[in-house]
Chains A and B, each alone.
Chain A
Amino acid sequence: MALIETRGMTKVFRTPLKGPGLAGSVKHLFTRRFTDRVAVANVDLTIEAGEAVAYVGPNGAGKSTTIKMLTGILVPTSGEVHANGVVPHKQRIQNARNIGVVFGQRTQLWWDIPVRESLALLKEIHRIPQDRYEATLQSFNELLELGELLPVIGRRLSLGQRMRADLAAALLHDPKILYLDEPTIGLDISVKDRVRAFIKQLIAERGTTVMLTTHDLGDIEDICRRIVIIDEGRIIYDGDLQAVKDTFARERSMHFQLHHPPADPAAIAARVPGVKLVAGEKPEQLGVHFDRFEVSAADVVAAVMTEADVIDFHIDEPAIEDVIRKVYAGQLDLSAAEA
């Protein structure tokens, strides 16, 4: 059996159906009506040990709900979940020993005590031997720089500090599986880099299985090889990250820096049919978008150089971002990729 396996995992939330305003709320007191909202529908997921999976989708797609069912916080309405041989919501305590969880928006640290004491308490809770505890903290120190955080009281941590401390807290007991729910949300670039480097190190050195939800596509490209895309509670794509890019990130852009504004942009477009010209910030700049399977970059360069005086240019590599953006906008049918 795979490390994490779900079959037909479904979560339905019952929400009260209220009219608008106070009148609606009062009326609801007497005539209670509910509506079922399917947050996650029939999700089949199989994750092998050592995999790093990005779980992506627009807001409200069911990402967090999925994570919460995998971690045992929520009980699925129907379907099965197994993680490392246990049913998370039934064997919570056993499950807790196998997993580490970080929610980017919340902290598991105690609010009123220094980080050092929070970690010490978690050491007791997880029954970690002193020597292993110290070795683990030592190994985290390089990338998370815990030293400076240890004396700080929970509520005084900045967001970046908090995230570093929370990562340490979630991983003290060396869990097999790490769930990260938007771990880099709101962080500045340098902390983001550090968090990503830390997670990569964890995967490389400890073989930790990582499942990550994020809106930051940098996280995905940096950490994960596999991507699962969910929309309206259903998995619409599950597969190799590179394959998605090859199949769907067809659009490429080139950016030109010119001596003078182009005299006749239409002439450029006419030389390479199918391209789209976009004016740059300054009149001397020009962007060209094209489908890399229909037009070659060389043709585009040749066309622009014929019609204008080029100083410099660069190409944007196709990024997963484009795919995701289209999925979010509902413009992409991913079922083609699964075939």
Chain B
Amino acid sequence: MVVASRIGRPIVLYARCLAVQIKAVLEYQADFWILMMASVLMNLVGFVFLWTIFSKIPDVDGWTFWQVVVIYALVFVAEGVGSLFFEGTWNLAFLVNRGELDFMLLRPVSPISQVMNCAVGINGLGNLLLGGTLIGLSLSHLHIHWTLGRVALALLLLVSAIATKIGLNLATNASAFWIQSPFSGFAFSMHQLGDLARYPITIYASAVQALITVAVPFAFISFFPAAAVFSKNGWRLGGVELPLRWFGLATPLVAVYCCWMGVFLFRRGLRRYESAGN
């Protein structure tokens, strides 16, 4: 019971704070539908692009169309969850620049959770729906032999992939404490870099692959987890043969690392926080 309330209460509180933001968004109904449609349309364009390419070629580096769609859709799902439940992370730059973080530091709740739930990105709902639909569609075409173990693994990797994205968002946005600009330019450019992970990363130059595997591990949001579920192997990077599947299985560790990094950088940054003059 005690454990349940220790974990349960913050989640309930988190949901309540988020509900406030959703209510606020729903006040502007037109905006709600526009945002939804815009995100779905934008990402559909990407999907059509993918489909066009694959109508000319059978596979990319051993990845079939529907497998690539899973990679592609995983990015949407992770971004969708990020926008829908953790959108406030993107407001950090503004909060720091304007000194709006002050009140979050004066409440008996973790400031990180308060930052994360201080906004909601309804476009995330569109991404999530589209991503979910595409994954469902892919799986129906892929004829994977689903054992209980594989289902459990897939779910674990999905959660880890999402957590990796959330952690990276927090870590890159924590740069706001150092940069102090009201815009999250740095975090956003990193986020753009994440678009590279929408495709099998083996199509890129080694340096790019290393970048999104090690430096900013966006590849663990989509490519590696998918590789593990599809039992892919044989990854050559700079002439070295790497066990691709094992990278996929390491996704939970990467997720923990990214989240830890986010929390660490946030706390470090908080020491530098200057508020805003009155």
Could you tell me which A residues sit within 8 Å of B by CB distance?
A: 13, 60, 63-64, 68, 71-75, 92-94, 96-97, 99, 101, 103, 105-106, 108, 110-113, 117, 121-122, 124-126, 181-182
Once the chains are docked, how many angstroms separate the CA of A73 from the CA of B273?
A: 8
B108 CB within 8 Å of chain A: yes
Q: Does B233 contact A (CB under 8 A)?
A: no
B101 proximity list for chain A (CB < 8 A):
73
Beyond A125-B13, A181-B278, 9 additional pairs, beta carbon < 8 A: A64-B278, A71-B106, A72-B106, A73-B275, A94-B108, A101-B106, A112-B23, A121-B17, A125-B108
| Given A68-B275, A96-B108, A106:B16 Cβ within 8 A | no
In the complex, are the beta carbons of A113 and B106 less than 8 A apart? Answer: no
**What is the 8 Å Cβ interface bit string for chain B, positions 28-49, against chain A (1 contact, 0 not)?**
0000000000000000000000
A126 close to B108 (CB less than 8 A): yes
Contact between A113 and B105, CB atoms less than 8 A apart: no
List of A residues within 8 angstroms of B99 by Cβ: 106
Known: A68-B275, A113-B23, A124-B16. A73 touches B105 (CB 8 A): yes
The reply to whether A117 and B274 form a contact with Cβ atoms under 8 Å apart is no
Residues on A with C-beta less than 8 A from B23 are 112-113
In the complex, what residues of B have CB within 8 A of residue A60's CB?
Answer: 277
A92 contacts B13, CB within 8 Å? no
User: Judging by beta carbons under 8 Å apart, are A108 and B109 in contact?
Assistant: no
The residues of B that contact A93 with a CB separation of less than 8 Å are: 108-110
Bitwise interface map of B from 1 to 31 toward A, beta carbon under 8 Å scored 1, else 0: 0000000000001001100110110010000
Complex CA gap A181/B24 in Å reads: 29
Q: Is the CB–CB distance between A103 and B102 below 8 Å?
A: yes
Are A113 and B24 interface neighbours, CB within 8 A? yes
- The answer to whether the Cβ of B143 comes within 8 Å of any Cβ in the partner chain is no
Instruction: Jot down 18 A-B pairs with beta carbons below 8 A, ordered by A.
Output: A60-B277, A64-B278, A68-B102, A68-B275, A92-B111, A93-B109, A101-B103, A103-B102, A106-B99, A106-B102, A112-B21, A112-B24, A121-B16, A121-B17, A124-B16, A125-B13, A125-B107, A182-B278
